[in-house]
């Protein structure tokens, strides 16, 4: 019963801010206002409702004067709120194009400047990544989950290369992030939330300029190793 109440208020809180914060953009003259709210208010209240006790290490590793791509493991829906909370910069998320037509969520993502990828075929996906790279190069910080979906067992899965192609195209650093505890709190296979401890470790930047298309496998391997190393810290 308590878990259902938590889920209800998390949903209401999320949808309310998604709907209302974009209306403040014309008032604040700042398109990133919804992202600022997500980082400072939305995420703080969301993880409080979920019963998360959050500890963060390595925030000093994040340069705040340049665009970046945050790469994190993904075990739970609550990971989004956790990433927003721990990042010292406003984060844009990348979603499939179909999300544009989802009520409230699509409206929020479009107005707040989140990035959409067309996955209907390979050619459109490549074109979408190039457009996304240009947006990142122009100053956006982005969060991505290279596993592509939430882990069903809480273990780190194989990394897809899309995020790394994006980093190469944009010429930006990747920030490796490990999130521990969200799987136990709210696993992908359950609708039950169990309050608990969540620890986030942020690694040092990995410069995409050290890699190329030919060495992208090494780029992926280094990032995954950095996240695996943090998981045992």
DSSP 73-124: ----TTHHHHHHHH-SS--EEEEEGGGGGSTTHHHHHHHHT-EEE--SSHHH
Torsion-angle region of residue 212: left (phi > 0), alpha (psi -120 to 50) or beta?
A: beta
- Asked if 209 and 67 count as a contact pair (C-beta separation under 8 A), the reply is no
Residue 209 has pLDDT above 80, yes or no: yes
So what's the pLDDT on residue 115? 87
Q: Could you give the number of structural domains in the chain?
A: 1
pLDDT tens string 77-114: 999 999 999 999 999 998 888 888 999 999 999 999 99
How high is the pLDDT of residue 97?
A: 86
- 213 confidence band (pLDDT: 50, 70, 90): very high
Residues pairing with 200 in the sheet: 56, 179
Find the CATH number of the domain harbouring 7. 3.40.1130
pTM of the entire predicted model: 0.93
Q: For 104-162, what is each residue's pLDDT tens digit?
A: 999 999 999 998 888 777 777 778 888 889 989 989 999 999 988 777 777 888 999 98
Domain that holds residue 56: 2-231
| Three-state SS at 6 | helix
Mean pLDDT of the chain: 92
Neighbour-count burial of 210, counting CB atoms closer than 10 A to its CB (0-12 exposed, 13-18 middle, 19+ buried): exposed
């Amino acid at each position: 019963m308590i878990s259902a109440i938590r889920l209800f208020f998390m949903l209401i809180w999320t949808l309310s801010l998604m709907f209302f914060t974009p209306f403040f953009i014309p008032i604040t003259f700042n398109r990133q206002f919804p992202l600022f709210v997500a980082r400072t208010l939305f995420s703080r209240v969301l993880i409080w409702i979920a019963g998360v006790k959050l500890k963060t290490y390595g925030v000093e590793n994040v340069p705040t004067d340049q665009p970046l791509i945050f790469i994190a493991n993904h075990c739970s829906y609550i990971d989004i709120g956790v990433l927003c909370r721990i990042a010292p910069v406003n984060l844009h998320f990348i979603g499939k194009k179909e999300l544009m037509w989802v009520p409230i969520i699509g409206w929020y993502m479009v107005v707040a400047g989140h990035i959409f990828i067309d996955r209907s075929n390979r050619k459109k996906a490549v074109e979408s990544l190039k457009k996304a790279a240009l947006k990142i190069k122009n100053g956006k910080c982005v969060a991505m989950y290279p596993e592509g979906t939430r882990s069903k067992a809480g273990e780190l899965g194989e990394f897809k290369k899309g995020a790394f192609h994006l980093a190469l195209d944009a010429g930006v650093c990747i920030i490796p992030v490990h999130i521990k505890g969200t799987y136990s709190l709210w696993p992908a296979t359950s609708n039950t939330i169990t309050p608990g401890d969540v620890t986030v470790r942020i690694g040092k930047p990995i410069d995409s300029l050290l890699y190329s298309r030919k060495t992208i496998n090494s780029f992926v391997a280094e990032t995954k190793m950095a996240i695996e190393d943090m998981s045992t810290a």
